[in-house]
Structure 1
Amino acid sequence: MKKDVNIKALLPLLIFLIVYVGVSLVAGDMYAVSVIIPFLASAVTALIMNKEKNLNQKLDIFCKGAGDNNVILMILIFILAGAFAQVAKDMGAVDSTVNLGLSILPSNLLIVGLFLIGCFIALSVGTSMGTIVALVPIAVGIADKTGVAVAIAVGSVVSGAMFGDNLSIISDTTIAATRTQGCNMRDKFKMNFRIVLPAAIITTIIFGILTKNASAGDIQKLEYSLIKIIPYIAVIASALMGLNVVVVLFGGIVIAAVIGFAYGTFNVIGLCSSISNGIAGMSELIIISLLIAGTIALIKENGGIEYILTKGLKKFKNKRNAEFGIATLVSLVDICTANNTIAIVTVGPIAKNISDEFDLEPKRVAGIMDMFSCVFQGIIPYGAQLISAAGLAAISPFAIMQYLFYPYLMGVCAIISIVWYHRNESENLTLKEEIS
């Protein structure tokens, strides 16, 4: 049966924003309190609402939403992704990848190299934060040796980190975007890659021009092992071949473990500890996913989603406007929460309803959510990415913002892709109006 239209059903989302922003303002830090708290407040609000149903009925709706097949599969992927990233890191894959790139690049291409290495590392490990933490100290050292402004060097790292965060098949954002929309990761990757590739190329050229006169003496020889990079290459290649992501990640864990044993990096106990730590690192995201899924189920039951579709989107006359609406929604949530994964997990179910209403392609919706959330996550000065980068480099986040060429260009390319993709739709609509 079609649910009633009810704007009051959206109250849990408002409660989330009020609690999140309120706590952040009181603490003076957006990361002082776990985001689980405002999401829990939102879930409790949803359970209190709708007096027509008793608590047991509402709990049943909540649990069915949280136990949806897509949600459980997404959580399983989060678990495997966390385990793979940690095992590969502990095995030495990150250090080898960084050192290899820096060892083969000439001085005037070191900043360009930082961007490209950042792209590869983030694409491989699926985390912009891990990439930033690994590369920013190196970027500061390179800036000191070459005379390049520290902000430029750090900007290249953050830009590369956001490239990989957006595209990586083990990135939280990609997993959340594809699972909520029910599309194949390979399809989303290919579509997404074609859109952001021009942004990456232009960014590379800009950094090359800015640092063309950079020069440094002999940089200390860095140690690396090509074998330790194999897990990343295997994961990327097998994902692009279309293998099931669960198989891809499990295979990556096995390969990284075998290499770790061969090099004596860890023993069985060390491997188990590494896997455990990786999974534990995903615990907050797993809890948030369950809370959001259950809350959204109640919001939908109470008519909130129907309100968005029939009232909030009544001005959406075509697919292009619907896609811009999803882009705007995920951007606003990211600005409010300073977390692109949470933005996608929050907006994902609503975007799915919009997608079904306007018959949008799931891979495009997943890509749009991922791109726009990463655009704003990469440029907001209070986001974890810029705060950590600025802290490691001992400079202001605002100093870095002017050199974040890739996130800005990714946003431009994403907007152009929506307009260009649906140009024929607009032309046909205009023709029909003229005929009528």
Structure 2
Amino acid sequence: MQILAADIKTIKIILKEARIHMNNTTANMPLKDSLKPSPLALLPIGVFLVIYAGSGIIFHDFYNMPAIIAFLAALLTAFLQTRTLSFSEKITVIAKGLADENIITMCLIFLTAGAFSGAVSAAGGVEHTVNLGLKLLPASWSAAGLFIIGCFLSISMGTSVGTISALAPIAVGISEKTSISLAMCIGAVISGAMFGDNLSMISDTTIAATRTQGCSMKDKFRTNFFIVLPAAILTFVLLLILPSHSEVVSVYAKDANLLLIAPYLFVLVSALCGMNVFAVLILGTVFSLAAGIFTGNLSGMEIFTCMGDGITAMYDITVISIIVSCIGSLIKYNGGIDWLLTAIRQRIRSPKGARFGISVLTAGIDTATANNTISIILAGPIAKEISTEYDISPCETASLLDISASVTQGLLPYGAQVLYASAATASAVMPLSGVDIIAYNYYPMFMAFCLLGWIFLRRTHNK
């Protein structure tokens, strides 16, 4: 009996040591890349859309609810869903997602682009660029001229809202002094703003689209430009022949300093020549500060505060990008991305269907969020998986994302661009609502047709 008791005790010790060894082994095992595909894993996105879009519908203002609050609620939902992992393991999952080279690069580009934008704006580059365009273009081109100036300004500044803020008051003045309808002038401004928002090397949408797909900005610009060029030409021609012009407006007489415009040209040309985007933005910022100091527009602490203001303006989108990456990592681990890809693949039969699916997905998210950058960040990882499956080049996928988001954003009556433009008409004899304006946003409309033509009418080429 004593021998048997000793044997049992020995067995218990062995089993205990075996359990300890197994627990240690399990703890040190790498986490799975993802669980089984499940539609429930997409619940965080649904929570975000309900909170963000729901507040916009209830309060009649889609910018009443800060996007970051809705995204934090979505992140909390994703954390609560992932029950198979401990809290520290969940942190490990999102840390791996944040460690992605594209996410880090995107955030750093956002901040350096903000520094450039703040410096060049404070130096007076925006005002003088507008003045030069108004001075060079004939008065008979008033509406078409607003579009051309908007195109150049937005592609140089990288922001559609900034372009609208600078040009919309001028558009109101031109409308009051000519026979051109205010809605057409404002529509021309928004059209020009969306041109650069989609194409600019320092636009947050371009940055998000290229980084999520892992392609160069130069390659994306080349592909994107040839898709939307017919839309820009058609818009210019339409704005040239539709209005009837009556008199020259005095606003064209303002002076423009070419030195203050030069930083925009430097950034545009350098980026197109393939220079590293960080080098372009840093040198462009230094160039802008030097021009501002030389002309007397900047002095003392203004040299630093203008850069700080520009960087601060990028905080929201940078933090949102980080939070969205965290949410995406948990959604992917829980099998949401795999389920969504499976569902999309079941409805896609060809590369054309894949391109159309990416475009519809992006447009749908933008309709719900009223933010084209956020829609690209959300749709980007899914689009990358689809494009890899159907052998679509990264630069084309980035173009599809950016164009789809820009088309939708330019036609949303509750989007920031249309809302800013509508607010600028408050001083006019007959102020405009967002619905009044979108009928004259010709460029986003033509861009939609060009995108569909690119998807369905051209021959399919592999990478």
Displacement of 1:212 in angstroms is 4.5
Aligned to 1:376: 408
Name the structure 2 match of 1:350. 382
1:305 paired residue number: 337
Residue from 125, 139, 152 that aligns with 1:93: 125
* CA apart distance, 1:66: 2.2
SS in structure 1 of the partner of residue 226 of structure 2: helix
- CA distance in structure 1 between the partners assigned to 2:202 and 2:155 by the alignment: 8
SS class of match (2:298): coil
Aligned counterpart, 2:148: 116
Counterpart of 2:71 in structure 1 is 39
1:237 and 2:269 correspond: yes
Query: Residue in 2 aligned with 1:292?
Result: 324
1:413 is matched with 450
- The one-letter amino acid paired with 2:424 is L
Distance 1:319 1:270, change over 3 A: same
User: Does the CA-based 8 Å contact 1:114-1:157 persist in structure 2?
Assistant: yes
CA displacement at 1:424 relative to structure 2: 7.4
The residue aligned with 1:431 is none
Matches within 5 A, 1:324-339: 324-339=356-371
**What is the distance in 1 between the residues matched to 2:119 and 2:198?**
22
SS of 1:223's partner is: coil
- With over 3 angstroms needed to count, the CA separation of the structure-2 counterparts of 1:424 and 1:67, relative to structure 1, is closer
Q: Which amino acid aligns with 1:396?
A: S
In the alignment, the residues of structure 1 paired with residue 130 and residue 62 of structure 2 have an alpha-carbon distance, to the nearest angstrom, of 30
By how many angstroms is 1:19 displaced?
1.2
Distance in 2 of aligned mates of 1:216 and 1:262: 33
Question: Is 2:37 the counterpart of 1:5?
Answer: yes
Give 1:397's aligned residue: 434
User: What is aligned with 1:205?
Assistant: 237
User: Residue by residue, what CA displacement relative to the aligned partner does 1:137-195 show, whole Å, maximum 9, x if unpaired?
Assistant: 00010111112111111110000000010000000000000000000100000110011
Shift of residue 126 of structure 1? 0.3
Q: Which of 1 and 2 has greater Rg?
A: 2
Q: Secondary structure of 1:5's partner? A: coil
What is the aligned partner in structure 1 of residue 82 from structure 2?
50
Q: Distance in 2 between matches of 1:334 and 1:112?
A: 28
Q: Distance in 2 between matches of 1:125 and 1:166?
A: 12
Identity of matched residues, %? 43
CA distance in 2, matches of 1:25, 1:414: 29
1:231-257 per-residue CA deviation (whole Å, 9 max, x = no partner) reads: 000000000000111111111001001
In structure 2, the partner of 1:434 is: none
How is 1:58-137 mapped onto 2 (pairs within 5 angstroms)? 58-137=90-169
Once residues 122 and 457 of structure 2 are traced to their aligned partners in structure 1, the CA distance between those partners, rounded to angstroms, is: 44
Alignment of 1:165 with 2:197, yes or no, is: yes
SS in 2 for 1:166: helix
Q: Distance in 1 between matches of 2:47 and 2:187?
A: 35
Matches of 2:249 and 2:206 in 1, distance apart? Answer: 40
Residues 219/95 of structure 1: CA separation in 2 closer, same or farther (3 Å cut): closer
SS at 1:313 equivalent: helix
Report the Cα distance in structure 2 between the residues aligned to 1:6 and 1:135, rounded to whole angstroms. 48
What is the letter of the counterpart of residue 223 of structure 1? D
Aligned to 2:149, what secondary structure does the other structure show?
Answer: helix
Q: Which runs of 5+ in 1 are unaligned?
A: 426-436
Give the direction of change, closer, same or farther, for the CA distance of 1:31–1:196 in structure 2 (3 Å limit): same
190-199 vs 348-357, greater mean Cα deviation: 348-357
Shift in Å, 1:211: 2.1
Asked if structure 2 preserves the Cα contact closer than 8 Å seen for 1:109 and 1:211, the reply is: no
TM-aligned CA deviation for residue 35 of structure 1: 0.4
Partners of 1:111 and 1:211 within 8 A in 2: yes
On the 8 A contact 2:53/2:368 being kept in 1, the answer is yes
TM-fit CA distance, 1:111:
1.3
Q: CA deviation at 1:422?
A: 4.1
Question: What CA distance in whole angstroms lies between the structure 2 residues aligned with 1:422 and 1:42?
Answer: 40
**Secondary structure in 2 aligned to 1:421?**
coil
Name the amino acid aligned to 2:444.
Answer: P
Paired AA for residue 445 in structure 2: Y
Distance 1:267 1:359, change over 3 A: same
User: What is the Cα deviation at residue 107 of structure 1?
Assistant: 1.8
Which residue number in structure 2 is paired with residue 433 of structure 1? none
Distance (whole Å) between structure 2 residues aligned to residue 142 and residue 116 of structure 1: 15
Cα gap change, 1:217 to 1:137, in 2 (>3 Å) = closer
- CA change 1:18–1:75 in 2 (3 A) is same
Tell me, yes or no, if the aligned pair for 1:3 and 1:306 is still in contact at 8 Å. no
Does the 8 Å CA contact 2:94/2:330 hold for their aligned counterparts?
A: yes
CA distance in 2, matches of 1:383, 1:424: 35
Q: How does 1:19-38 map to 2 (within 5 A)?
A: 19-38=51-70
User: 1:221 aligned to 2:258?
Assistant: no
Q: Do the aligned residues in 1 keep the contact of 2:351 with 2:460 (CA within 8 Å)?
A: no
Would the aligned equivalents of 1:47 and 1:59 in 2 still touch at CA under 8 Å?
no
Contact 1:136 1:389 in 2 (8 A): yes
TM-superposed deviation, 1:210: 1.1
Question: CA separation of 1:156/1:24 partners in 2, compared to 1, >3 Å: closer, same or farther?
Answer: same
State the distance in 2 between where 1:214 and 1:199 align.
Answer: 27
Letter in 2 for 1:374: S
Partner residue in 2 for 1:15: 47
Query: Which letter maps to 1:168?
Result: S
CA distance in 2, matches of 1:139, 1:2: 53
**What is the deviation of 1:278?**
0.5
Mapped to 2, the partners of 1:194 and 1:115 lie a distance apart of 18
1:262 is matched with 294
How far is 1:215 from its partner? 2.6
Matching residue's letter, 2:451? A
TM-score (norm 1): 0.95
Which of 19-28 and 149-158 deviates more?
A: 19-28
* Distance (whole Å) between structure 1 residues aligned to residue 249 and residue 64 of structure 2: 42
* TM-score, scaled relative to structure 2: 0.89
Which structure 2 segments of 5+ residues have no match? Answer: 1-32, 426-430
Q: Give 2:307's match in structure 1, choosing from 275, 280, 291.
A: 275
Q: Structure 1 residue 3: deviation in Å? A: 4.5
> Taking structure 1 as reference, are residues 175 and 423 closer, same or farther at Cα in structure 2, changes over 3 Å only?
closer
State whether residues 188 and 363 of structure 1, in contact with CA within 8 Å, keep that contact through their aligned partners in structure 2.
Answer: yes
